[in-house]
Chains A and B, each alone.
Chain A
Amino acid sequence: MTDGPRLEGPLPPAALDDPHLTPYAKHPERAQAVAAIAMVVGFLAFIAFGVAYWVDASTQWEAATLGVGLLFLGFGVTAWGKYLMPQGPFVEERHAFHSTEAEREAMTAAITERGGMVVKRRKLLGGLFLLGSTAMGLVLMFPLIRSLGPKPGETLFVTNWKKGSKLVTIDGREVSADDLEVGGVLTVFPKGFTGSSPDQVILLRLSQTLQPLTPPGRTDWGVLGYVAYSKMCTHLGCPVGLYQEQTQQLVCPCHQSIFDVAAGAIPQFGPAPRPLPQLPITVDATGILVAQGGFNQPVGPGFWERS
């Protein structure tokens, strides 16, 4: 881009009736009247907003008065600008903003030559400064990042379910073997950990004829038709909260993964990659449902440390 001609000194005189300065409106008085009316309406609407606030009117009244006020005042000002102010077209020259070749060279030279003089010859100092600032950057990570939270450690692999943990509802009530009809579902937690996210379990009572479909080695993980699965979706951890009794499927409402509860909760559809981890349960001497142990797998979505 070349430098455009710069306008300097006194500007040439213009004709008295220069069309650049005539308003865009064909009838400026009418345009002025419209703008004036709009501004008056705006003014009145703002007053009305004040009244609406004063009398504690509804949100709709507040919005209507404020909105109308802003809209009309804005319209008035815009109309004033568009129809009554000079529209031109006016022109402004662009000027190249890049420097001259000499200026560029001078800048480069200032960096490289001065740098050459005082930095390159003092390699020791430069190196030590780099060393020091790198060390500072690294150790500052401790307070700035490491303090934020604990390391994952084993927490992603374990839950609070242990052998003998009693199944309780969110109210802390123990679940007994006759609490659910066939086809019923209930969200349960290990006693003492109600509401805990990784421990949430969906307890279902299936028809006992479906028992043979459970995966090999897990035939005794359920009891009296009851089976228990982690309620955390293996896709992104949403609660798998929808149970379709007819098809015996659990559906995650977030991204529509579907799990077949009659066959070890394997994913049948959607983005979930793994079955819901199963919690082996049994019934204790008093008829209360208890866990036989923890889940068969880490619960929830996938992560790097998982094998």
Chain B
Amino acid sequence: MIDKTIDKSLRWVDDRLGVAKGGRTFLDKIFPDHWSFMLGEIALYSFVVLLVTGVFLSLYYIPSAHEVVYHGSYIPLRGQKVSEAYASTVGLSFDVRSGLLMRQAHHWAADIFLGSIAVHMARVFFTGAFRKPREFNWIVGVTMLILGIVNGFLGYSLPDDLVSGTGIRIAYSIIESIPLVGSYIAFFLFGGNYPGNGLIIPRFFIIHVLIVPLVLIGLLAAHLGLLVKQKHTQFPGKGKTEHNVVGSPMFPTFMAKTTGFLFMVTAVLFLLGGFAQINPIWQFGQYEPYQISYAVQPDWYMGWLDGALRIMPSWEWVGWGHTIPLEVFLPAVIFPGIIFNILIVWPFIESRYTKDLAYHNILDRPRDRPKRTGAGAAMLTLLGMTFFASSTDVLANFFQLPLKDVLWFFRIAVVVSPIIAYVVAYKICLEMRAAEGIGKRKRAVVIARSESGEYSTIETAPRPGDGSAELDAIPVPTFIDLVPPELATDEGVRRVMR
């Protein structure tokens, strides 16, 4: 009955759009299985949660710096003059049912969105998945990372609380530090000298909820479209070549697994949103440009920039009637500029260096490319060091050390530690390559103990994915039918029609 309906409706659509051929190919599309291929899915599903919770928040949030008197249910704030943005954020947290859950899940989703992008990107980098023909997708991915960081910062700024307001102040000064045009850009963006004409919140709002998400959705479509067109890369293994993809089919296996994963990622984000308090703006209070609190740290993905600002020496260049605040411009504009540019052009740097112009659909094991692995380790170490440098004050307190020593530690560490990381990673790769059999999946062995206390090993039956006895891959069968009950064996074997 349902089959007939599906057949009829498919015919109707196919008459008009011709979807059957491509649709069938799509359902048969093969996705290789590896845990590391799910990292990008975490980012994708966090983005879905961001969109849904974000729409919810936008129904209650008022993007306005207009001053109002708070009358909501949070007693310590009652009667205080606050901005509408702040009041509405506190309001949607306390006076809208499920509002706090949605808001905190949104914030957690943003942090995890960027975190999973970073880890996904590291996977793509270390396995060489960015090589020809996937350079476009690498660039699309880096662009999404940059936009994600920008949008995270903008969203973080919208509640107009004391901590995020300080962040906006810093952003203003960073823009101002750009030679020649900096103060003009800052004045245009903010509508005047800091804090501007009160339009920065509505401006950030429209960039945060419309412009960047629109671009992100477009890039995301391109990212997935390119993935479908170019097909997923795969790790080397039995029957896996540069000319095929081995794995499980889109429908039903992959679809079931990935739908389940969507639910589970969402579950984690909402559990965090409900149990792990994040950004309690009612404790920080309304932003005032002359107030500040101690130990101000931005969200994690801005940490590397904040750390770079902290450890930069106070080198301001003055001459010919002009000033270049290098102590801001270098760490906050040039440094991220260099990092992102290196990331974007990396596939081309590498192919120029290796003179490798071939197509690559089989992934590298990181150990087999010691120089790339070393370079990636150096980059991660550099960014990790600048990230930790954003908590110099906290670390100095924790370890009871003079702030000066902590600062100098990081100044030296950002230069020295990437070099050490490169050498160590390089050496580890060489060692691992030299050892035989490392990383190969072995067949499970059961150790049994007999009644007399004797131990013996029993080899288990081969399973798909065992290093020793992998099945040969076959094309996806036309359809899979359950064996009629009278033919079924005890093991529930299914009949195949191809």
Contact = CB atoms under 8 A, between A and B. Distances in A.
B471 A20 contact: yes
A12 B498 contact: yes
Given A155-B193, A237-B172, A256 B392 contact: yes
B385 interface: no
A19 B310 contact: no
Pick the most buried of B184, B266, B275, B290: most chain A CB atoms within 10 A of its CB.
Answer: B290
Given A80-B260, A273-B316, 16 more contacts: A11-B478, A13-B498, A15-B496, A21-B480, A80-B256, A88-B30, A88-B464, A88-B474, A89-B472, A97-B229, A235-B328, A237-B170, A237-B172, A255-B310, A271-B314, A302-B177
Contacts of A1: 242-243, 359, 361
A226 B179 CA distance: 37
Given A151-B184, A152-B183, A271-B314, A253 B194 contact: no
A67 B274 contact: yes
B368 to A, nearest CB: 21
A75 B170 contact: no
Contact of A236 (B29, B173, B491): B173
B63 to A, nearest CB: 16
A237 B193 contact: no
A2 B133 CA distance: 14
Contacts of B288: 195
B231 interface: yes
A146 B196 CA distance: 15
Interface of A: 1-2, 4, 7, 11-24, 28-29, 53, 56, 59-60, 62-64, 66-71, 73-82, 85-94, 97, 145-146, 148-152, 155-156, 170, 187, 195, 197-198, 200, 231, 235-239, 241-242, 253-257, 267, 269-274, 300-307
A87 B189 contact: no
A274 B316 contact: yes
Contacts of B474: 14, 18, 20, 88-91
B257 A59 contact: no
B328 to A, nearest CB: 6
Given A56-B97, A156-B183, A90 B292 contact: no
A94 B361 contact: yes
Nearest to B32: A89
20 contacts: A2-B243, A22-B493, A64-B271, A66-B274, A71-B268, A73-B263, A74-B259, A82-B256, A85-B253, A88-B473, A89-B464, A152-B184, A198-B193, A236-B170, A236-B173, A238-B170, A271-B328, A273-B315, A302-B325, A304-B178
Contacts of A15: 496
Interface stretch (B147-155, B244-252, B336-344): B244-252
Contact of B189 (A148, A152, A253): A148
**Size band of the B side of the interface?**
35 or more
Contacts of A73: 260, 263
Interface in B278-293: 288-293
B322 A307 contact: yes
Contacts of B309: 235-236, 255, 271
A62 B53 CA distance: 15
B217 interface: no
A151 B291 CA distance: 27
Contact of A267 (B252, B261, B314, B323): B314
A85 B196 contact: no
Pick the most buried of A60, A81, A187, A195: most chain B CB atoms within 10 A of its CB.
Answer: A81
Given A13-B498, A15-B496, A90-B474, A74 B294 contact: no
Contacts of B270: 63, 66-67, 70
Given A63-B271, A78-B264, A305-B322, A254 B292 contact: yes
Interface string B77-106: 000000000000000000001101100100
A238 B166 contact: yes
A242 B315 CA distance: 23
B192 interface: yes
Pick the most buried of A4, A64, A152, A195: most chain B CB atoms within 10 A of its CB.
Answer: A152
Nearest to A82: B257
A98 to B, nearest CB: 8
Given A88-B473, A149-B197, A239 B292 contact: yes
B246 A88 contact: yes
Contacts of A307: 318, 321-323
Nearest to A233: B173
Contact of B193 (A19, A78, A156, A274): A156
Contacts of B492: 22-23, 28-29
A132 B182 CA distance: 29
Given A73-B263, A237-B173, A256-B403, A198 B194 contact: yes
Contacts of A87: 248, 253, 464
Nearest to A19: B471
A91 B322 contact: no
Given A13-B498, A90-B30, A303-B176, A253 B295 contact: yes
A90 B473 contact: yes
A303 B98 contact: no
